[in-house]
Amino acid sequence: MAEIVFTDGVVQAMASHALSAYPFECCGALFGNDAGPLRTVLAVLPIDNTSGEDRRRRFSIAPRDYLRAEREASRLGQTLLGFYHSHPDHPAEPSRTDREYAQPGFSYPILSVRPDGVAGIRSWRLEPGSEWYSEETVHNGAKMQPRTAGSGRAPSGAGTPASVARGENAINRETKS
């Protein structure tokens, strides 16, 4: 069975992004090491949801952002492992639309997010030649700490597309599109 390991702070970075985007879907890139059935996510890059449809139920990654993710993986000396996104007020399970746009070989973690925090995370992989996803076993290096009611949103800048989150840090830098 396929497994995905999120190193310390990565789940928190994705959760912060999902909470700051709520009630809309967020999305971002995953970077790390690919050892066949075991993938280790070392960093994430939040990406703007550019969907022209209802962003509460759809996300889209612009071609320039996909290219930026590939370049960032190269700069980090890591592999682009896939893309995460959130499902506001819905389970962390892929929809038919998610399947239609999925690329074989990538991991697709989905965060179920609610007004009071992140309810869970599950990850899926579409194997080449497969019609549907297989679920990856998720290992968290850090516990998610969902916000409590009334505690406010994620810190300012947590979901900015020009930040790469590694562990507890976010690195802001200018990007060229």
For the chain, list the domains and their CATH numbers: 3-172 (3.40.140.10)
The pLDDT value recorded for residue 36 is 87
- Over range 4-19, report the average pLDDT: 95
Per-residue pLDDT band for 56 (boundaries 50, 70, 90) equals confident
Give the model confidence (pLDDT) of 66-81 as tens digits: 999 999 999 999 999 9
Q: Are 124 and 133 in contact (CB under 8 A)?
A: yes
The pLDDT value recorded for residue 21 is 97
Q: In the beta sheet, which residues pair with residue 132?
A: none
Per-position b or e across 104-126, b if 16+ CB within 10 A of its CB: eebbbbbbbbbeebbbebbbbbb
The yes-or-no verdict on residue 170 having pLDDT over 60 is no
More confident residue, 166 or 95: 95
The pLDDT value recorded for residue 160 is 29
The yes-or-no verdict on residue 117 having pLDDT over 50 is yes
Q: Are 163 and 174 in contact (CB under 8 A)?
A: no
Q: In the beta sheet, which residues pair with residue 123?
A: 109, 136
For residues 139 and 82, what is the distance between their CA atoms, to the nearest angstrom?
A: 16
For residues 57 and 52, what is the distance between their CA atoms, to the nearest angstrom?
A: 11
pTM (predicted TM-score): 0.79
For residues 20 and 3, what is the distance between their CA atoms, to the nearest angstrom?
A: 27
